[in-house]
Structure 1
C-alpha cells in the first residue's frame, strides 16, 4: 500500500517536471475558505485571503452604486411624469406660501357695480368721496403701533411698517377731493392682504416691457390701460403715486392688528369726458400670473 502511494507521488512529480518545465496545479481559492467558521483558515495562503477580501469589497461597492443609480433614475422619472422640469422645480423651491392677493380699486360704492361717476353735481360725487375717506382712514387703524421702515426692512409680526400718506402726491388727497373737484380723478389701488404671501422679483433679463422704465426689484409696480384702443386713446396721461408701486416691506401680511395696507393712487390727468372709459389695471411680480387673472382689476370711468 505504501509502495502504491509512493508510486503515485513519483508519477505526479514526473508530470510536474515533464519536459524540463514546472507546472503548478490549479488551485480553487474557495478550497482555502474554512467552511466551518466562514473565515480563511490557518492553512490558507495570505494571497488567497486577500483575493477573497477584494472580491467581497468589489461586490459590496458594485451593488451599492447600482442601488444609488436606480434610486436616481426613479426620482428623475417621477419628476418627468409629474410634468416637472428642472426650471419648474427651481421655481417651486422659491415659491412662497399664501394665496396671491386680489388687486382691488376704490372708491367702489356698490360691490356689484364697477362704475366711478364724476360730475359737477355734488350729489353724484358725494358717495364716492365718502367711500374714499372711509377707505383711507381704515388703511391705518393704529399708527402708534406701526413703525417707519427703511427700504431694506422686511415685515415682522411685532410692529409692521407704516405707510406714509405723503407719497400720494398733492392731488390725490382729501383736501383736493381726490381729483373729483375737476373730474381728473384719483383711483386707489391696493393688494388685498393675504396671509404669508410674498412677492418675488423679476430677474433683470425678464422684466416685462410694460414696467421696465419704473421697475424696482423691491416693489410691486402697477400699470393701467384702456381695454380697447378707443379707451386707451381717451384715457389720457396717467401718474402713479408712489411710482414704484407696493413696496416689499409691507409683505407678508401676518394678521397684525396694526397692519398698514400699502396703497397706489392712479391719477387720470386729462381723461375724455362724457364717455364710458373701460380701464384695467395690473399688479406685477414674478409670482403673479395675469393669465390666471391674478393681480388684475377692472372699472369704468364716466366723467362729466
Structure 2
C-alpha cells in the first residue's frame, strides 16, 4: 500500500500545532494579554502562599526557645532516666563494644589514643565552640555555678589518664572515660547518707562514701562503679582506679540547662592489671536514687568488653 502525503490546504492547517499563530496572534494558544493576566494571577497566588507559610513558621518559632526543649521529662523521647556512655568506642563497627588493646603494638594503641582524643579535644581546650570562646568557671561544692556559667572539667590533672602518658594504653593498663547522657533540667537524687545506701551497691563504694568522703556536702555525687559482670570477669579485671578520686560526677554540674559551652562531667576509670588473652565483660553503673537500673536493657549502666593482647 502506498502512503500519500496531503499538502496543507490553508495557512491555518500549516500553523496548526505550532507555538505561534499569526492569524490569531496567539502564543501557545494565548494572546500576550492573556499570558500577562495568568502570569500576574500565579505571581500573586504563590506570593500570598509563601507569605502565609512564612507567617505560620514565624508564629511557630515564637513558641520555641532555642535552649529549652519543648518536650521534657516523661513527654520526651529520652525520658527521665539518663544513660551512661563510654569512650573510646570502636570506630570500625558502631555495634561493637570491644576494646581490643595491644600494648606492644604502637599502631594499635595510638589508634585508640587518637580515637579518645577526638572526644576529649574540647575538654583540653575548654570554652572553644563554633560561635567563639565561652568563659569557664572552676566550680566546687562550696562555689557551684550560677545560671549561665559553665564549669570546667579538670581532665588535665587526671594522671596517669593523660595523652602524655598515652592513657596507659602502651602499658596495657587502659583508661576508659565515662559520661552521663544529658537530660534537660534533670537533678540527681543523691545517695549521700552512709547509713542509707542500697543493698546491691558494691562494698568498695559503700566504704568509699563512708570513710573517704568526710564532708557531707562532697557526698552529693552521682557515683560510679565498674565491675566484672560475672564472677570470672571480676577475677580477671583486677584493680580499678577512678579519676577524680571522688569516684563520681559532682552534683554541681547539674541540672543541665543547655548553657552555651557546657561540658558534660567525665570520670576516668583505669584498669590497672586486667588479665591478658581473655575477653573480660565490664559493667559500669551510675548510682543515684532517680537513676533506674536494669541489666536487661542497660538502663543506668553501660557494658563493654576488654581484651588485652
Q: Which TM class, normalised by the smaller chain length?
A: 0.5 to 0.7
Contact 1:117–1:302 at 8 Å: present in 2 too?
A: yes
Contact 1:117–1:125 at 8 Å: present in 2 too?
A: no
Q: 1:198 maps to which residue?
A: 187
Change (3 A) 1:102 1:182: same
Contact 1:101–1:295 at 8 Å: present in 2 too?
A: yes
Q: 2:207 maps to which residue?
A: 213
SS in 2 for 1:189: strand
Q: 1:115 maps to which residue?
A: 98
1:164, 1:234 → 2: CA distance?
30
**CA deviation after TM superposition for structure 1 residue 285, in Å:** 0.7
Q: Does 1:184 align with 2:167?
A: no
SS in 1 for 2:219: coil
Structure 1: gaps of 5 or more residues: 1-97
SS in 1 for 2:290: coil
Contact 1:214–1:243 at 8 Å: present in 2 too?
A: no
Matches within 5 A, 1:1-304: 99-110=80-91, 111-119=94-102, 120-139=104-123, 141-142=126-127, 144-168=134-158, 170-202=159-191, 204=193, 205-208=195-198, 209-210=201-202, 211-215=205-209, 216-244=218-246, 245-291=248-294, 293-304=298-309
**CA deviation after TM superposition for structure 1 residue 167, in Å:** 4.4
CA RMSD of aligned residues (A): 2.1
2:249, 2:237 → 1: CA distance?
23
Structure 2: gaps of 5 or more residues: 1-78, 129-133, 210-217
SS in 2 for 1:109: coil
**CA deviation after TM superposition for structure 1 residue 122, in Å:** 2.4
Change (3 A) 1:203 1:189: closer
1:194, 1:141 → 2: CA distance?
21
SS in 2 for 1:214: helix
1:297, 1:229 → 2: CA distance?
18
Change (3 A) 1:246 1:167: farther
1:152, 1:303 → 2: CA distance?
41
1:281, 1:184 → 2: CA distance?
17
Change (3 A) 1:155 1:102: farther
Q: Which moved more, 1:289-298 or 1:177-186?
A: 289-298
2:264, 2:192 → 1: CA distance?
26
| CA displacement, residues 186-216 of structure 1 (integer Å, 9 cap, x when unaligned) | 1111112221111111262322342212235
SS in 1 for 2:138: coil
SS in 2 for 1:131: helix
2:179, 2:142 → 1: CA distance?
21
Task: Kindly tell me the number of residue pairs found equivalent between the two proteins.
Answer: 207
Change (3 A) 1:100 1:152: farther
* Greater radius of gyration (CA): 1
Change (3 A) 1:200 1:154: farther
SS in 2 for 1:282: strand
**CA deviation after TM superposition for structure 1 residue 156, in Å:** 3.7
Higher helix fraction: Structure 1 or Structure 2? 1
Higher strand fraction: Structure 1 or Structure 2? 2
Contact 1:220–1:248 at 8 Å: present in 2 too?
A: yes
Change (3 A) 1:116 1:123: same
**CA deviation after TM superposition for structure 1 residue 181, in Å:** 1.0
With the length of structure 1 as denominator, give the TM-score of the two structures.
0.63
